[in-house]
């Protein structure tokens, strides 16, 4: 800024400070030998300090309003996926029953595809098109080529690609809901709208990796871009 030939500058700096961030605000004005300018600076000092206090409070309010996420959440472009799947409706309250039902459906799908010599083209995944405290629709799916020749009982379906938020969970499946809850928080914080069913991608095969701490699950929430 230039006040009648006397330059003024303002500084806003954000610097890492351990687990915190240090905010520095500064304003300087060179009045030279102008006595009137010096008197103006005397009266401006209090108003500038008030504006700094106001700015600090607003920045603090914004920073503290941001949810604290335990998991890393990113915005991604999810590719379209062709798959063969089975759907089942059941209670979400019994993890043991859910795991047993999923094992049954994945076992059936894998057996059918192997008999038909259909290649599984990626990681198994599950979708949840309907979910409440009492009931959920669960689709267990295996990815295949779009033109795969599958048994008559099954049908090749497609998950449309597009924008999605993604979270990565490491560990056994008992606490997957914690990541789902943070993804819901992220949606609300960013003002995003869901555009499809949540998708869990099971990157690690529990039959091959017995150490549950090494199990990796990717969760995607398809979204509409505003």
pLDDT of amino acid 21: 76
pLDDT of amino acid 226: 65
pTM, entire model: 0.73
Query: 106: which residues sit within 8 A by CB, 6+ positions away?
Result: 124, 140, 142
pLDDT of amino acid 13: 74
Of residues 79 and 226, the one with the higher pLDDT is 79
Residues 19 and 126 both lie in one domain? no
Residues 89 and 43 both lie in one domain? no
Domain carrying residue 197: 73-224
Residues 50 and 147 both lie in one domain? no
- Final residue of a domain: which of 45, 65, 85? 65
Residue 13 token pair: 């700096």
Give the pLDDT confidence of 25-40 residue by residue, as tens digits. 666 665 555 555 554 5
5: confidence class by pLDDT, cuts 50, 70, 90: low
Residues 96 and 181 both lie in one domain? yes
**Average of per-residue pLDDT across 7-16:** 68
Other CB atoms within 10 Å distance of the CB of residue 156: 16
Residues 102 and 205 both lie in one domain? yes
Residues 130 and 100 both lie in one domain? yes
**Average of per-residue pLDDT across 113-133:** 96
Residues 28 and 127 both lie in one domain? no
Give the pLDDT confidence of 166-205 residue by residue, as tens digits. 999 999 998 999 999 999 999 999 999 999 999 999 999 9
CATH of the domain at 161: 3.20.80.10
């Amino acid at each position: 800024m230039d006040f009648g030939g006397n330059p003024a500058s303002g500084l806003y700096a954000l610097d890492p400070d351990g687990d915190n961030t240090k905010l520095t605000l500064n304003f300087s004005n060179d009045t030279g030998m102008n006595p009137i300018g010096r008197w103006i600076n005397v009266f401006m000092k209090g108003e500038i300090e008030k504006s700094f206090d106001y700015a600090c409070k607003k920045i603090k309010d914004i920073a503290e309003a941001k949810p604290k996420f335990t998991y890393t959440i990113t915005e991604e472009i999810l590719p379209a996926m062709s798959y063969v799947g089975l759907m089942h409706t059941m209670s979400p309250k019994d993890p043991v029953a859910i795991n047993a039902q999923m094992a049954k459906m994945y076992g059936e799908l894998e057996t059918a595809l192997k008999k038909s010599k259909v290649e599984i083209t990626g990681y198994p995944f599950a979708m949840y098109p309907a979910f409440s405290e009492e009931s959920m629709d669960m689709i267990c799916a295996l990815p295949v080529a779009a033109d795969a020749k599958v048994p008559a009982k099954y049908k090749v379906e497609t998950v449309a690609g597009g924008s999605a938020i993604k979270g990565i969970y490491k560990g056994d499946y008992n606490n997957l809901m914690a990541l789902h809850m943070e993804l819901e928080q992220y949606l609300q914080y960013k003002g995003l709208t869901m555009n499809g069913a949540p998708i869990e991608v099971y990157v690690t095969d529990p039959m091959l990796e017995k150490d549950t701490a090494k199990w990796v699950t990717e969760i995607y929430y398809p979204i509409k871009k505003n």
